[in-house]
Structure 1
Amino acid sequence: MTGSPSPLPGGRPGAAASATGPSSTTGRGRGLASSGQRRLVSRAAAGAALLLAGTLTFVTSPIAASPAVASPAAAEPSRATGDPLARYHRQHLDWRSCVLGPDDETGRELAKAGARCADVTVPLNYDKPNGRTITVAVSRIRATDMDRRVGALLLNGGGPGGQTIGDPPWVRASMKQVGERYDVVGVDPRFVGRSTPLDCRWPTGSFIRGAGKDRAGFDRTVALAKDLADRCRASQGDVLPYATTRNTARDLDVVRAALGERRISYLGYSYGTYLGQVYATMFPGRTDRVVLDGVVDPDRYSPRLLRGTESANRHALEGWATWAAARDSAYGLGRTRDEVLAVVDGVQDAAGRAPLVIGHHRVDEHVLPVVVFSGLSQDNDDAYADLAGAVRDMRRAAEGRPVTPSPGFAATLSFLLDGSASAYGSVQAAILCGDVPAPRSPEVYWRDVERARAQDPLFGPVTHSVGPCAFWDRPRERPTAIRGDLPALLVSATGDPRTVHRNAQAVRRMWPSSRLVTLRDADQHAVYGVFGSDCVDTTVNTYLATGRLPSTDVTCARSAGGVARTRVDGEHRGG
């Protein structure tokens, strides 16, 4: 949930990270903490893109009805009836330099691209628009082709918890000439990055852990999940109920109005595709051109988003193992795929006996499978090399040898094992738990883990394990019912290990007016502007330029070097 530094479907590669940590979707084209992540470490993420301070009680409210459109407080009433959000919609934005200080590399990249930044004031609670306010940080690269200007393109890189404010430069470059016709706008969602923060002071950047090999290990995972929830309740209880996707969508509409736009175009990756679906449902008629890449199936959206990804991740692991076997001289993990996979199983068994000492970190049976899982969202040599180096280091540690991890692997371990990225995990949990309730009984998770373990002993205990949402209060609102039809362009890779391909097929069936662009034979999460497929990028850019969807679905076949060939489907083939 990558972009997030976490293994959840999150932001796409390229999003700045709250910390240099494992990402299903952070660090352009990379898996574990990458040069892309290190280059954009300003991402304090979450209080935000999931992905984002007060009394110590946790607010409990009855669950509201689930409207298909915005509630009266969230909608924009006519001037005649009075607009409770008028002061937000008509606010003056103070555009200024994006550079916050001498070490702000993200700000410098934005400035180099000609971006300016501003803070948009929004209500904490849209039911009380005259009450407490928070700010949402935005960046903007303005259109230069004013004669053919389309409007504003708002971005969300995923998460939940992923920061997006640093994304306009690389998205604008991916758009090629059509980028000149848009104001490209990065938005750090509420509580993420440069927006008003939310931080529960966790000792980790991610709540995701493997359940361990037995009941004692699972019980340790339950204890951690409860502790994380208790920390949030104690320190952030007054704002937690408002860290939701529905409120983030309401914020986007305030941003739209403050920018002076009647409608917005939207590009969302991973979790950002769900946010886009919610926005389009709550605010019908306010979207223009919509691209959703790495699609979340709204009927499966819940705090347990990773369930059902085991097969895709196993396929990705086998592909990586084949790659590593061909480079045994470099990594020493084995000369065949099966030998490499045996090494992975061996280090997991070793961690189950005693934590592996890697630098100043101790990697146990709960963390090790998360490291492997996190390294499998990007299908390219850089991501594969990162994972191979990490597995090599863990193997050496299992053999009792001293290990000094690479800077990237050290950053991944820091993300998982210290509190430097607490805000990212805090916001991710707050949004997931605030959107959809999770099962309360640990026994539900234990039974699921045991069943999943029988199918995949490495990934099953990760994807089905318990999290803090089991100990969270119930959401204030029901999830948005995503139905109807939206003429959006959907993008998906057949081997996506985070938001699996059948998710995109489900949304394609739900929205008959949409079109699906499929990249075949790639174990890749997030494609447009990331993977290097001329076919996918050209299809998306043509849509952004013309506003016309392809007449039929499009399939892009992977070729050597990751550049794809195109084939237009004669008809939509749901799966």
Structure 2
Amino acid sequence: MASGEAVAAPAAFAVQPITWGRCADPDLRKAKARCGTLVVPLDHADPTGPTISLAVSRVKHTRGPFRGAVFTNPGGPGSDGTWLAPYGSYVPRKVGLTYDWYGVDPRGTGASRPLLSCDSSYFGWNRPDYVPTSATIMKYWRHTTEKYAKDCGRSKAKRLLAHVRTTDSAADFDLLRQAIGLDKITFFGFSYGTYLAQVYATLFPDHVQALVMDGVIDPDRVFYRSNLDQDPAFQKSFNAFLAWVGKYPSTYHLGKGRKAVERTYERLRKRLKRHPAGGKVGPDELDDALLNAGYYNGYYPYVASALAALANDGNPQGIKQLYRGSNPVGKNADNSFAMYLATQCTDAVWPTDWKTWAADSRRLDRKAPFLTWANNWFNAPCRTWPVAGTPRVDVTGAGLDDVPILLLSETHDPATPYAGALAARRIFPSARLVAGVGGYSHAVSLSGVACTDNAIAAVLETGALPARASGNRADKECPPLAAPKPPKKAARVAPLLHRTWWSR
């Protein structure tokens, strides 16, 4: 572990058993989950100091033999996670039902307390274009992102800010392990959750039974460089969406072929810059809505229908719903965004010179214009964050030679590019990588691709992994998650999105 990082919770903290009761979430109640609260130190280096509470959910095993506990994290960082406790039911051959599955709202998120919120109206309408084509636009976004960082430093939960690094959450998970009385646990992480799993395994290697990581982060590139890596990856994923739309010109009337659809999108974006649809939907809101398709091809029909309604009929309702589903406003609505920043900004050292940010974004924007400047502004509060970043954890894989580790990634994953999975495979000597070849979706295991899902069942059932291949490549190749076909009657208004493990 690098110097300056938080340490594991000392034995002096007396962890209390969890009292399990009725869950507030109807989906968890339907899954027969039970919910409770885990009390942990605010500062793991001060176990006798102030405490905070974490919301925890559990779905107990219903079949034998009992194989242990699976701890889950959906990523973000900043996403609530109690909703993941029922995930064991998706594992093939009912293997998941031989485990107790735990979901956690990490510190500062969801139903955990205190809750971090900095500006609940941050995601408004008709904002200046993300692309700073003028000094005025550049000034607006620099001021806006700097103000958000300042607002977080003045929030009611500001005491959290120095204690929400990944090392803090890893120590929380180990207290959960102690609270349920198990010596070893399996960690199943998605997206950023794969980094949390890697840090947990680095700090507590003796307590790891197995690791399953889907959408794998390269621990050596957290987080400024890993966010830059996303820009060209999302451009490819967005192009794949445009190509899909271009296969169905009679359904969406946006053009035949990728290039034609791309021209329609570019014309629409210019039009919205001059005249926002309904006075609200400008080019930023359009791009934020379309980003859903970049993450997951299952949303292609909904996003395409919303795009077609706006481009062809001037109806912005679908785009508005997609945008607002991912960018809510209202009381504490910015919680996920605030905690995303609070974790990433302090997990590693970020550049503070604006010239570095601007130069990198200008360079990437030339080949990846879809996301580059949006991604820049999304992360820009880290440049002036009120709590300094610390050296990242040195993830080495030490002490894990005999631990079964399964890595999962589609080869064109935009949010956690495939190179991260290859890097983790090199770091962890017992790791095996299962690749969804040619896929553009992010962290979509247990979505029905038998080749991938059976590999998860095997490692959970017996610890079995694919044979290790030579070289820097996948150990097992699988089909990707197949893109859907348009419904016979295309939806004109996109549905609200379910909670996901997606963050830039």
For this structure pair, what is the TM-score category when the shorter chain's length is used for normalisation? 0.7 to 0.9
- Tell me what 1:410 maps to: 321
1:184 deviates by: 0.8
Give unmatched runs, 5+ long, in structure 2. 469-474, 485-504
Determine the C-alpha separation between the residues in 1 that align with 2:119 and 2:481: 45
Cα shift at 1:64: 8.1
* Partner in structure 2 of residue 527 of structure 1: 444
**Structure 1: where are the runs of 5+ without partners?**
1-62, 77-82, 101-106, 563-575
| Cα distance change of structure 1 residues 464 and 118 upon mapping to structure 2, 3 Å threshold | same
From the superposition, tell whether residues 559 and 365 of structure 1 become closer, same or farther in structure 2 (CA, over 3 Å): closer
Instruction: Specify the alignment match of 2:84 in structure 1.
Output: 167
Identify the residue that residue 460 of structure 1 maps to in structure 2: 372
1:472 matched to which residue of 2? 385
| SS of match in other structure, 1:309 | helix
Residue 239 of structure 1 corresponds to 160
Corresponding residue for residue 556 of structure 1:
478
* Amino acid in structure 1 at the alignment position of 2:254: L
Structure 1 position 470, deviation (Å): 0.9
Give matches, 1:262-281, under 5 Å: 262-281=183-202
1:98-497 paired onto structure 2 within 5 Å: 98=23, 100=24, 107-146=25-64, 148-196=65-113, 197-204=115-122, 210-235=130-155, 236-303=157-224, 305-354=226-275, 356-358=276-278, 362-380=280-298, 383-395=299-311, 401=314, 403-406=315-318, 409-410=320-321, 412-413=323-324, 415-416=326-327, 418-419=329-330, 421-465=333-377, 467-475=380-388, 477-485=390-398, 486=400, 487-497=404-414
Deviations 1:130-171 (A, max 9, x none): 11111111111111234x211110010111111211112233
Per-residue CA deviations over 1:414-438 (Å, capped at 9, x if unaligned) read 6537345211111111111121232
Distance across 2 between alignment mates of 1:560 and 1:259: 39
Distance in 1, Cα, partners of 2:117 & 2:328:
16
Q: CA deviation at 1:559?
A: 8.4
Q: Is the 8 A contact 1:269 1:526 kept in 2?
A: yes
Name 1:95's counterpart in structure 2: 20
Question: Deviations for 1:42-75, whole angstroms, at most 9, x for unmatched residues?
Answer: xxxxxxxxxxxxxxxxxxxxx98257xx73xx24
- What CA distance in whole angstroms lies between the structure 2 residues aligned with 1:182 and 1:244? 28
TM-score (norm 1): 0.76
Partner of 1:9: none
8 A Cα contact 2:227 2:375, kept in partner: yes
Counterpart contact for 2:436–2:481, Cα < 8 Å: no
* Secondary structure class of the residue paired with 1:239: helix
**1:362 partner SS:** coil
Relative to its length, the structure with more helix (as a share) is 2
For 1:325 and 1:549, locate their aligned partners in 2 and report how far apart those are by CA, in whole Å: 39
Q: 1:538 aligned to 446, 451, 454, which one?
A: 454
Aligned-pair distance for 1:327?
A: 2.4
Mapped to 1, the partners of 2:376 and 2:128 lie a distance apart of 10
CA drift of 1:477 comes to 4.2
Aligned-residue identity in percent? 30
- CA change 1:219–1:232 in 2 (3 A) is same
Structure 1 residues 248 and 374 mapped into 2: Cα distance closer, same or farther (>3 Å)? same
8 Å CA contact 2:289–2:322 kept in 1: the answer is no
- Contact 1:204-1:419 within 8 A present in 2 as well: no
Cα 1:447–1:328 change in 2 (3 A) is: same
In 2, the alpha carbon distance for the partners of 1:459 and 1:508 equals 28
Q: Secondary structure at the match of 1:117?
A: strand
Between the aligned partners of 2:414 and 2:129, the Cα distance in structure 1 is: 17
What is the CA-CA distance between 1:314 and the residue it aligns to? 2.3
Question: What TM-score do the two structures reach when normalised by structure 2?
Answer: 0.86
SS at match of 2:358: helix
**One-letter amino acid of the structure 2 residue matched with residue 352 of structure 1:** K
Report the CA distance between 1:122 and its aligned residue: 0.3
In 2, are the aligned partners of 1:205 and 1:415 still within 8 Å (CA)?
no
Which residue number corresponds to residue 489 of structure 2? none
Any idea what the Cα deviations from partners look like across 1:80-112, whole Å, max 9, x if unmatched? xxx311x11xx12110011x2xxxxxx222222
Tell me, in whole angstroms, the C-alpha distance in 2 between the residues paired with 1:125 and 1:559: 42
Shift of 1:368: 3.3
Q: Please give the alpha-carbon distance, in whole angstroms, between the structure 2 residues aligned to 1:559 and 1:474.
A: 40
Q: Given that residues 288 and 323 in structure 2 are in contact (C-alpha distance below 8 angstroms), is that contact kept between their aligned partners in structure 1? A: no
Structure 2 counterpart of 1:194, which letter?
A: A
Listed one character per residue, the Cα deviations across residues 226-264 of structure 1 (whole Å, up to 9, x for unaligned) are 111111111133221112211000100000000111111
How much does 1:409 deviate? 4.1
The Cα offsets for residues 108-130 of structure 1, whole Å up to 9 and x where unpaired, read as 22222221111000011112211
Instruction: Please say if residues 2 and 394 of structure 2, whose CA atoms lie closer than 8 Å, have aligned partners that are also in contact.
Output: no
Question: What is the one-letter code of the residue matched to 2:329?
Answer: D
How far is 1:411 from its partner? Answer: 5.0
- Aligned-residue offset at 1:220: 1.5
Query: Structure 1 CA distance, aligned partners of 2:132 and 2:272?
Result: 10
The one-letter code of the counterpart of 1:520 is: V
**Alpha-carbon distance between aligned partners in 1 of 2:373 and 2:236, rounded to the nearest angstrom:** 17
Cα offset for 1:187?
1.1
CA distance in 2, matches of 1:394, 1:434: 40
Within the candidate set 457, 463, 470, 1:547 is matched to 463
Q: Which residue of 1 aligns with 2:427?
A: 510
CA RMSD, 1 decimal: 2.6
Aligned partner of residue 206 in structure 2, secondary structure:
coil
